[in-house]
Amino acid sequence: MFYMAIHGQDTIPHVKGRILISVRKGTIECDLTLSNMPQLSDYYLRLNSGMNIRYIKNAEPGMLPLRYERSQDDTLSSGESLAYYIPSYNESGKYLPHAVHFNYVGMYPVITDTTSAVDWRGNIAFNGKTLRADGIQSAWCPILYDVKTDRSYENVTYDLDITCHDCNVIYVNGSQPVSGTHAKVRSSTPQDLTLFSGDFKSVAINGNYFLNPDADEQQLTQLENTLDAYQKYLENKLGIPYKGKAVYIQTTPVSKNNSWMFASYPTIVSVSWHEGMKSFANKSTGTGFLQYMAHELAHYYFGKVRAFNSATRGMISEGFAEFLAMRITKNFISNSKYNDELKSKVRAMNNLTPVPMQKIRSEADYRNRELYVYYYAPLVFLAIEKEIGEEKMWTWLKVLLLSPAVKTDYTFFEQTLKEVVSDKAKFDLVREKYLESNQAFQNAVSALSIPADEFSAANNNIPVTKTYYYYVISRPMADIGSSQNNMIVHTEVAQITCLTTEFLDRVRATAIKVKQACKNATGCTNDINSYNSIEEAQAGLKRLLDRYNKNGRMVVKVLKP
Ligand SMILES: [Zn+2]
């Protein structure tokens, strides 16, 4: 489609070659050629840090392996990949052949028992049954990155020959899942190379696929219907159709405590130990699941139709995905769910005093990225919608998605709004209230008529007198229970009546005493825990001691507060 060509990547690299996977051994062997690349002078080729390179060559026939180097300066990579380049004597010091042939192999731990401390989107995860690798962060296939424009070329056309002797389904983003141990997959539409292969069931409903679902066919049919209605709504409002059929993947993490969803349209992945697709049918968890799905479906627009850049990337991509999920909640789930969601967003903001959007210059300015992009930004966007009306809001979204600008920085964000509002006085008012003001959050809360109790809970600066039941506890930062980290120090439960603003000052000296008495090689935590009753405080202390001294290996010291 034309807008992809204009706003996505100007030139789309093509990846061709062979891949050999074993989900039982945790191995990936690749022999891949990247061609049709833009002629960049300053670039990196990002490749997952677990991949060992046999060679990099110019892909023309008969060429010898090239020397390559690694850069330490690729600070924008999310950490999973290394940044390679081919050194040269030209001005940039880097040389990029028209086509590059990579041969490399990776071996990863196969974790069937959740022993990994952490799992996340960019992890190349083998859980014993499947391989999961996302097509952006993991960089399991080399990804070209333009240093000058801060643009990465993860969307590629491809022609891949994949063998996996211990798989029964092989899936690459944008192709149909292939049953069997061998797949030849091609795409002439640019896709990131999200990969999911292994031993699982693949169910097709109305041309959409569900991979490894826990739900039965009847539940999946209902779910498919619901999600299809969400997609039609967004298509209709934004005037940009979804391309291709969706593939919904359900899988488990290799750690105990991580669960999340991510979208690389047409693929939407849910990684969790909780109920998966079938939680849709569950009365208490169903709406939460659908709200997450709505957010991921919205990423087709804010992520795929247009990939945003600059420091505003998170605020725009996540903020508008969440904004659209809120719209879907209101229109398809219920008004009361929508109101609950508004209130919970306002309550969460208790922990952040946001910088006005106009002052966002780097990711660090968010202070708390999670709160800023998923809570603050959608509240501000909903308030702006209240001011300018729904119709102009949809127009703004369309312009954000389709405007030919290259940099999607704050200026772009503001200019597009100005253009759509096309009323100077109105625009100035909106800018002043929601984009420039230090009170933008408060302004949004009142524009959205969120009940005063939520508002005051989030802005409770008036000191009152209160009785606290509290204790202070220090334990090892890490490696708890080892011989070098086996000390817990805590106070008994004590009581103080004072102004809410004074409490921390009153307890500080005790907290310092506790921390000083606690000796562990990894250092000690230092937590002041307070409650409204002595029973709650005692129960809280007991819970912590039970948790951290499970095996009775710890030396526990008790101090007088
Ligand atoms: Zn998101």
* Angle CA 446–450–456, to nearest 5: 80
Dihedral (Cα; 312, 429, 420, 296), 10-degree rounding: 40
Q: What single DSSP character describes residue 65? A: B
209 Cα: distance to centroid of ligand 1 (angstroms): 21
What does the pLDDT profile of the chain (561 residues) look like in tens digits? 333 434 445 799 999 999 999 999 999 999 999 999 999 999 999 999 999 999 999 999 999 999 999 998 875 556 899 999 999 998 889 999 999 999 999 999 999 988 898 999 999 999 999 999 999 999 999 999 999 888 889 999 999 999 999 999 999 999 999 999 999 999 999 999 999 999 999 999 999 999 999 999 999 999 999 999 999 999 999 999 998 889 999 999 999 889 999 999 899 999 998 878 888 888 777 888 999 999 999 999 999 899 898 899 999 999 999 999 999 999 999 999 999 999 999 999 988 899 999 999 988 999 999 999 999 999 999 999 999 999 999 999 999 999 998 889 999 999 999 999 999 999 999 999 999 999 999 999 999 988 756 555 445 456 788 899 999 999 998 899 999 999 999 999 999 999 888 898 999 999 999 999 999 999 999 999 999 899 999 999 999 999 999 888 899 999 987
Give the list of residues 6+ apart from residue 92 with CB closer than 8 angstroms, or none. Answer: 41, 42
CA atoms 341, 347, 350, 356: torsion sign: positive
Task: Just give the CATH number of 2-200.
Answer: 2.60.40.1730
Return the structure tokens found at 3.
């807008």
Per-residue confidence (pLDDT) for residue 6, from 0 to 100: 41
318 Cα: distance to centroid of ligand 1 (angstroms): 5
* Parts of the chain belonging to CATH 2.60.40.1730: 2-200
104 Cα: distance to centroid of ligand 1 (angstroms): 32
* Parts of the chain belonging to CATH 1.10.390.10: 308-458
Per-residue confidence (pLDDT) for residue 427, from 0 to 100: 97
260 Cα: distance to centroid of ligand 1 (angstroms): 10
CA distance linking residue 554 with residue 542, whole number of Å = 14
Of 154, 113, 107, 112, nearest to 134 (Cα)? 154
CA distance linking residue 260 with residue 271, whole number of Å = 5
CA distance linking residue 380 with residue 323, whole number of Å = 9
CA distance linking residue 95 with residue 479, whole number of Å = 45
Return the structure tokens found at 172.
């690459």
Task: Just give the CATH number of 308-458.
Answer: 1.10.390.10
Per-residue confidence (pLDDT) for residue 350, from 0 to 100: 83
198 Cα: distance to centroid of ligand 1 (angstroms): 26
217 Cα: distance to centroid of ligand 1 (angstroms): 28
Residues in the chain: 561
16 Cα: distance to centroid of ligand 1 (angstroms): 30
299 Cα: distance to centroid of ligand 1 (angstroms): 7
Which pairing describes strands 267-271 and 247-251: parallel, antiparallel, or unpaired? parallel
298 Cα: distance to centroid of ligand 1 (angstroms): 8
321 Cα: distance to centroid of ligand 1 (angstroms): 6
Query: pLDDT tens across 296-336, in order?
Result: 999 999 998 998 988 999 999 999 999 999 999 999 999 99
C-beta atoms surrounding 538 within 10 Å = 15
CA distance linking residue 196 with residue 249, whole number of Å = 8
328 Cα: distance to centroid of ligand 1 (angstroms): 15
Secondary structure, 3-state, 2-61:
HHHHHHCCCCCCEEEEEEEEECCCCEEEEEEEEECCCCCCCEEEEEECCEEEEEEEECCC
532 Cα: distance to centroid of ligand 1 (angstroms): 37
Per-residue confidence (pLDDT) for residue 561, from 0 to 100: 74
Beta strands in 27-155 (DSSP E): 27-35, 43-48, 51-58, 69-71, 81-87, 94-95, 100-107, 125-126, 130-133, 143-146, 151-153
361 Cα: distance to centroid of ligand 1 (angstroms): 21
Contacts 24+ apart (CB under 8 A), 555-559: 555/486, 555/487, 555/488, 556/487, 556/488, 556/489, 556/490, 557/487, 557/488, 557/489, 557/490, 557/517, 557/518, 558/489, 558/490, 558/491, 558/492, 559/489, 559/490, 559/491, 559/510, 559/513, 559/514, 559/517
Return the structure tokens found at 50.
């677990």
296 Cα: distance to centroid of ligand 1 (angstroms): 6
261 Cα: distance to centroid of ligand 1 (angstroms): 8
What is the DSSP track for 232-272? Answer: HHHHHHHT-PPPS--EEEEE--SBSS--EEEEETTEEEEE-
Of 359, 353, 324, 329, nearest to 343 (Cα)? 329
CA distance linking residue 266 with residue 297, whole number of Å = 9
Give the list of residues 6+ apart from residue 59 with CB closer than 8 angstroms, or none. Answer: 33, 35, 97, 98, 99, 100, 101
Return the structure tokens found at 401.
């998605």
425 Cα: distance to centroid of ligand 1 (angstroms): 33
316 Cα: distance to centroid of ligand 1 (angstroms): 10
